[in-house]
Amino acid sequence: MLILITYDVNTETSAGRARLRRVAKQCVNYGTRVQNSVFECILDNAQFVKLKAILKDIIDENVDSLRFYDLGNKYKTKVEHIGISRGIKAEEPLIF
Amino acid sequence: MLILITYDVNTETSAGRARLRRVAKQCVNYGTRVQNSVFECILDNAQFVKLKAILKDIIDENVDSLRFYDLGNKYKTKVEHIGISRGIKAEEPLIF
């Protein structure tokens, strides 16, 4: 299934940027970074449970927000895009 | 249906921040700003077409990225959250 993961973190701090890099690194194991802090991951249920636990350990739950959206298996017609495609690599330094 | 809208924009520029404010203002007419640049909107098909056209006019397609995800009508079990809930109001000045 396609799980969309959105991560809201203050990237004005180096700690925030580091957390975003760590989250990105985990997410791109299973999919694509479609925006700076939005990831589309193809996961089965076991992988989803595991990834959630890993990400929960990375983020600071007192200041960060992490959301998961289950788009199911028939997701190709459910996604639309306008504008540029960033194609950000997980290891790239953050520009903003 | 629930349409998730994610907007990737460089908020280091005042023009970028202004575009985000304008996008937010449109999106919160139909729903909630759940993260700094993530919006959950309840829309019918006609509203969805209209909102897409409005947002397309606001963003800079050469530098911004806008994505739409259709979560259908039975979306309540498809969304999970970890961490803080920001509850950002559309008119608030951007913190980051």
Per-residue model confidence as pLDDT tens digits over B11-55: 889 999 999 999 999 999 999 999 999 999 999 999 999 999 999
Calpha distance A91→A71 (Å, rounded): 26
Which residue type, as a one-letter code, is found at position A10?
Answer: N
Q: Chain B closest CA to A62's CA: distance in Å?
A: 6
State which residue of chain B sits closest to A33, comparing Cα positions. B8
pLDDT tier, A96 (very low <50, low <70, confident <90, very high otherwise): very low
CB pair distance less than 8 Å for B81 and A67: yes
| pLDDT of A44 strictly over 60 | yes
Out of A6, A70, A83, the one facing B65 most closely (by C-beta) is: A83
- Which secondary-structure segment (H or E) carries B38? strand B38-42
CB pair distance less than 8 Å for B64 and A85: no
pLDDT tier, B89 (very low <50, low <70, confident <90, very high otherwise): very low
Mean pLDDT, chain B, whole residue set: 90
Q: What is the pTM of this model?
A: 0.89
Helix axes A45-58, A14-27, angle to 10 degrees: 170
Instruction: Tell which residue, A89, A64, A44, has the closest CA to residue B86.
Output: A64
Output DSSP code: residue B37: T
In DSSP notation, chain A reads -EEEEEEE--TTSHHHHHHHHHHHHHHTTTEEEEETTEEEEE--HHHHHHHHHHHHHHS-TTT-EEEEEE--S--GGGEEEEE------TTSPP--
Largest alpha-carbon pair distance within chain B? 38
Contacts with B64 from chain A: Cβ below 8 Å: 83-84
| Pair A3, A43: CB distance under 8 Å | yes
The reply, when asked if residue B70 is annotated as ligand binding, is: no
Which residue type, as a one-letter code, is found at position B72?
Answer: G
Q: What is the ipTM of this complex?
A: 0.88
| Pair A67, B38: CB distance under 8 Å | yes
Q: What is the pLDDT of residues A22-34, one digit of tens each?
A: 999 999 999 999 9
CB pair distance less than 8 Å for B52 and A8: no
CB pair distance less than 8 Å for A84 and B95: no
State which residue of chain B sits closest to A13, comparing Cα positions. B96
